[in-house]
Amino acid sequence: MASHRRPKPAGRARVSILTAAAATAVALSSQSGAHADPAPTKDQVKAQVDALNEQAEVKTEEFNAAVEKEQNLQKQVSQIQDQVARQQAQVSTIQGSLGEIAAEQYRTGGIPQTVQLMLSASPDSFLNQAGAMNQVGSSQADVLKAFKDEQGKLDQQKHEAEQKLAELDATTKRLKADKEEVQAKIAKATALLESLSQKERDELAAAEAKAAAEAKAKATAAAPSTERASRDSARTDVAVNVPAGTHAAAAIAAAQSKLGSPYSYGAAGPSSFDCSGLMKWAYAQAGVSLPRTSQDQRGAGTNVGTNIANAQPGDLIIYKSDASHVALYVGNGQVIHAPHTGAVVRYESATMASINAIVRP
C-alpha cells in the first residue's frame, strides 16, 4: 500500500525569503508611485511655454529671412533666364550668319582661285572679285570671333542660372524645415497650456492682460490720451511726445491702430503680425521701407546704443543677443510690439528683456 505522507511544512528560512520578497515588491511599487513625476505647476508650465515661444521666435526670424531670400532668388533666376533667352537669340543670329558663309564657301570654295582665273572670261573682273573675297575672309573671322564671345556669355549665364536654381532649391527646403520647426514648438507650447485647468489658463491670461494694462498706463502717464475706435473699444491710444507729420509719428500711429491684432509667425499685416512684421508694416505706412527681419532691422538706421534713456519715440528696440526680437518705442519707457504666439499686439515695458540695440530709422 502506498503510504500517505503529509507534505513537509515550509521551512522558516523559505517563509522568510518569500515574505521579504513580497515586502520588497510592495515597497518598490509604493516607491514607484511616490517618485512618479508630478504634474507641472502653472508657473512651471508658463516658464516652459515662455522658453518655447522664445525658441519659436528665433526660428520665425530665420523663417522670415529664408522667405525673403527665396523671393530675391526667384527674381534673380527670372532675370537670368531672360538674359539667357536674349543671349540665345543673339547666338542664333550669329550662327545664321556663319551658316550663310559656310554655304557660300561650299558653293565657290571647291575651285581654286587660279583655276577660276584661267576659266574666267573676264580676268579683270575676277581679280576684282578676288579682292572682295579676301575682305569676306576677314569678315568671316570677325563673325567667328563674335560667335565665340557670345557663346561664352551664354554658357556663363546658363551656369549662373543653374547655381541660382540650386540655391533656390536649398533655400526652399530650409524654409520648409524652419516652418515645421516653428509649428512643432508652437504645438508643444499649446499642448502644455492645454494641460492646465481652465482656471489656471484664465489666471495666466489675466496676468498678461494686467501687465499690458500697466504698461499702457505708464505710457499714458506723461501725455494726454484720446479714444479711438478699434476692435477693443476700451483701448486708449498713447499720444506720445513726437512732432506731428514725422515718420516716427506716422509709424507709431500705425502701430497703435493694430493694438489687439493677433501674433502670427511670418505675418507682416495688415490683420496679424510677428515682431519684425509689425515694424515693417508700421513704417511702411509712414513711407519708410524697413528690411523684413529683426536682425536686418538692427542695421536699418542710426544705432544710438543700448541705454533706454537715449531712446526717442519711433526708435526700434532690438532685443536679445541674437537680435531675434524687435519693438517700437513710444516714449515714457514703453514699447508696442507683437510678443509671441497666443498674444496680441500690445504695450510693454521697454526693458522687458536685454536690449541689443536702439535704432533710429
- Specify whether 325 is catalytic: yes
DSSP-derived letter for residue 262 is B
Annotated catalytic residue within 4, 35, 275, 340: 275
Amino acid identity of residue 349, one-letter, is: S
Residue 359 β-bridge partners: 303, 316
CA dihedral defined by 38, 44, 50, 55, rounded to 10 degrees? Answer: -50
Neighbours of 106 (CB within 10 A): 9
Q: Is 149 helix (H, G, I), strand (E, B) or coil?
A: helix
The Cα–Cα gap between 116 and 111 comes to: 7
Classify residue 55 as exposed, middle or buried by CB count within 10 Å of its CB (0-12, 13-18, 19+): middle
DSSP-derived letter for residue 309 is G
Q: In what order do the strands lie in the sheet with 355-360?
A: 302-303, 355-360, 316-319, 325-331, 334-337, 346-349
The Cα–Cα gap between 297 and 188 comes to: 29
The Cα–Cα gap between 278 and 260 comes to: 12
Annotated catalytic residue within 35, 159, 247, 337: 337
The Cα–Cα gap between 126 and 143 comes to: 25
Task: Give the chain's length.
Answer: 361
The Cα–Cα gap between 131 and 134 comes to: 5
- Specify whether 4 is catalytic: no
In the block, which residue shows the cell 508658463?
46
The Cα–Cα gap between 255 and 285 comes to: 9
Neighbours of 49 (CB within 10 A): 21
The residues assigned a catalytic role are 275, 325, 337
